[in-house]
Chains A and B, each alone.
Chain A
Amino acid sequence: MATRRPASQLGIDRADVRRARTLARQVGKPIVDLATRHTTVSVERATLRLAGLGGADPDGTPWVNRLTDAVRADVGLEHGVSLPVWDALLRGEGDDLLTLAQKAAAGSVTFRVPEGKDATRARTASRRAVGAGIKQIDRQRAAREKLIAKVGDAPSKPWIYLIVATGDIHEDIPQAQAAAREGADVIAVIRSTGQSLLDFVPEGATREGFAGTYATQENFRLMRAALDETSRELGRYVRLTNYASGLCMPEIAALAGLERLDMMLNDSMYGILFRDINPIRTFVDQRFSRQVHARAGIIINTGEDNYLTTADAVEAAHTVTTSQLLNEYFAKEAGLEDWQLGLGHAFEIDPEVPDSFRLELAHAMLARELFPDAPLKWMPPTRHMTGDIFKGYLLDGFFNLVGALTGQGILLVGMMTEAVVTPWISDRDLALQNVRYVMNAAGKLHEDFRPAPDGFIAQRAREVLGEAIALLQEIKDDTDSAGDPPLLAAIADGTFGLMKRPADKGRGLDGVARKARDYYNPATEILEGDA
């Protein structure tokens, strides 16, 4: 570490922190190696999207899917689609990607893996085309920085994060603008239930969804344009969030970069554990998506809060720490910097548990100390929110207080009507009043507050770190008969929460291919080479 940190308030031994990070690296490295040896249909489709191929056929199947499937049928996926596709273009099979995709879908193009000079030419052409998309991502990053410099940034931390989710993008827009006017610094558009399991990205502006709105390039564009307008009106840049998760993680990351989204939900293991997506597919897709996020200046949000919605928040506290350490390793390996790591954690301890507030504070302080430069994402209570909105309002107040005391970067606003209704206009306003009151009354309390050196909070934080180190050690020592990397073996035998997810099962496995010797992907080359 370059700068000297102040001594730990929790009495944490620096050697323990180093040990935890070393273990995370030892557990993560074999997974990275595995990821670099494979590609997936979604990585290849994301590459085509970066080269400018969009749109869908009359049945709504995106052209990137049609083209990738056609290439795969002819020459397999293991060479990547770039060489066969640009080789076909150079052979005059189509004037552009769209024409080629249409012809390929009709079965009138035969793809081959070019060799020699043909391969070199295809390489150069594909790199030029994909490079244009990455330039566009660079331009969007610069545009964000310029707009922030011009209209101003969110005035204080934590950034206030509010959700909209009507299913209809044209309904979401005025709601998002209203939420921004009411004080939101970050707007998240919740996705339609189940989009994570679609192996394609829907096309166009959508007006129907299930408990959320589909993530599409056009929806991204419309919402960002609306929030730009609102940012200018309010004199502060309002950030936009969506989800790079599920089977199309790399494609959605690419679209987010192209359309200047500012934050993306992107967890290393969420899809495996909670959506039964194949572990290898997830790790390959995740690495590519994080490389894109790194380039685009997007802040990722990880999903540790989910662990606490299924397991006991006291017993499983160390799984959050473990996951944060792994997420940090994978993120940095992919090129993300500390300021881009919105590592997640949540206020989910049963309020009936004695000292629940002190436990919450201990866990949150631990996260703050372990990741001093990351904008942690603090998630409100959901599990113990009932129809008792009065009690829920108090619980949210205590949640906000922990947020204030531990310098959270991103605060998802808790609603007292959680588990009752999708938030009403008054629920949102009352929730924001709650946040403002706490920040105004106690926002600087951390200047005065020091936990007793060997008190309950400090001891609890050290205990959780100790358990996390033990768990990482256990993962590192895990094995399976196939000789998979230890983390895969650990995921397979149910180390994380409740789910056993073997490496050879789960959704999307048929979209994974081991790279051939001549595999080529210009996007990866540019993203890794220019990093």
Chain B
Amino acid sequence: MSLIRPYGDTTGDGMVQLSFTLPIEHSKVAEGAAVQLANKMGMDPALVVHAKPMGEGFTFFVVYGRVNHLVDPSTVEVVERDYPLLTPKEANASIKRSLRRRLTVVGACIGTDAHTVGIDAILNIKGFAGEKGLEYYREIKVVNLGAQVSVPQLVEAAREEKADAVLVSQVVTQRDAHLLNTREMSAAFREAYPAARRPLLVVGGPRFDETMADELGVDRVFSRGTTPGEVASFIVHRLTQEKAS
């Protein structure tokens, strides 16, 4: 059976539920408008089971109805992330298992950029978007150098700490400063380390294009909305995989 429909209580009934708010005072017209929206979304018949004024000039609706659409799971295309998302617990276990020591991450905002928002969201235990930062991971040692770190300082700190990964955040993008700084940084690491020993280079910031990693000479670029868990998962995946291969 490849084609399917939503299921309420009978195979093939196509029943769905939907809730939304319309910017209109509650009235019969408002309820009609809700039905019209549901119809346009493919629900037919659509039944407004609940309508309630919310605030001034808004009405909230719950609508039940039947959709006629069929979906074909065999044609669904999924973009797979190339690393699995790990919980902090899983990440810790994975590090313990394959590195047998704590993983060291050195982070900084380089150049004149004083915006530590990004690096702190990823590294501080406080975290971002409900996820705890890398400091929360027992098996990750975090060295956050803060803002306005020069590239030579960063390389030196990475050496001193024997960093497994270096995280750089760039918020300021005037005259492509974020791209220039990143290239300078990756070049310095290539110069300072033999290729096999170089720490993983990860750069992030709201204006980066995630496809530019190769061009910038780094291992990964993260863009707006990236959470600490994603960064941790990527680092752990790459470093533990390297060990395995």
Contact = CB atoms under 8 A, between A and B. Distances in A.
A424 interface: yes
A276 B138 CA distance: 16
Contacts of B125: 273-274, 276, 310, 498-499
18 contacts: A181-B55, A181-B56, A192-B117, A194-B115, A194-B120, A197-B120, A276-B124, A276-B125, A276-B135, A310-B125, A310-B132, A419-B130, A424-B21, A425-B58, A426-B54, A430-B60, A498-B135, A498-B136
B146 interface: yes
Given A197-B116, A498-B138, A507-B146, A275 B126 contact: yes
A210 interface: yes
Given A194-B116, A274-B126, A276-B144, A425 B121 contact: no
A193 interface: yes
A274 B55 CA distance: 37
B132 to A, nearest CB: 6
A382 B131 CA distance: 11
A273 B132 CA distance: 13
B19 interface: yes
Contacts of A518: none
B35 to A, nearest CB: 18
Given A276-B135, A426-B20, 12 more contacts: A178-B56, A181-B56, A194-B115, A210-B117, A273-B125, A274-B124, A310-B132, A310-B136, A419-B130, A498-B125, A498-B136, A499-B135
Interface size class of B (residues with CB under 8 A): 20 to 34
A433 B11 CA distance: 35
Given A310-B136, A507-B146, A429 B124 contact: no
Contacts of A193: 117, 120-121, 128
| Residue from A211, A273, A310 having most chain B Cβ neighbours under 10 A | A310
A193 B116 CA distance: 10
A314 to B, nearest CB: 17
Interface string A177-219: 0100110000000001110010000000000001100000000
Interface in B128-142: 128, 130, 132, 135-136, 138
Interface string B7-46: 0000000000001110000000000000000000000000
Given A193-B121, A276-B144, A310-B136, A429 B128 contact: no
Closest 8 CB pairs of A and B: A194-B117, A429-B54, A426-B60, A274-B126, A426-B21, A419-B130, A210-B117, A274-B125
A276 B127 CA distance: 12
Interface in A27-58: none
B55 A429 contact: yes
Contacts of B136: 310, 498
Interface string A499-517: 1000000010000000000
A425 B126 CA distance: 27
B135 to A, nearest CB: 7
Contacts of A211: 128
Interface of A: 178, 181-182, 192-194, 197, 210-211, 273-276, 309-310, 382, 418-419, 424-426, 429-430, 498-499, 507
Interface of B: 19-21, 52, 54-56, 58, 60, 115-117, 120-121, 124-126, 128, 130, 132, 135-136, 138, 144, 146
A382 B130 contact: yes
A275 B19 contact: no
Nearest to A270: B126
A273 B116 CA distance: 18
| Residue from A193, A273, A275, A419 having most chain B Cβ neighbours under 10 A | A193
Contacts of A382: 130
A166 B132 CA distance: 22
| Residue from A181, A192, A210 having most chain B Cβ neighbours under 10 A | A210
Nearest to A309: B132
Contacts of B56: 178, 181
Nearest to B21: A426
A171 to B, nearest CB: 15
Nearest to A192: B117
A204 to B, nearest CB: 18
A309 B117 CA distance: 21
B55 A275 contact: no
Given A197-B120, A310-B132, A425 B146 contact: no
A178 B56 CA distance: 8
B124 A275 contact: yes
Contacts of B128: 193, 211
Contacts of B130: 382, 418-419
A218 B244 CA distance: 56
A425 B54 contact: yes
Nearest to A497: B125
Given A274-B126, A275-B124, A498-B138, A178 B117 contact: no
A469 to B, nearest CB: 27
Contacts of A499: 125, 135
Contacts of A276: 124-125, 135, 144
Contacts of A419: 130
Contact of A194 (B121, B132, B144): B121
A499 B146 CA distance: 18
Contacts of B58: 425
Contacts of B21: 424-426
A475 B133 CA distance: 27
| Residue from B52, B120, B138 having most chain A Cβ neighbours under 10 A | B120
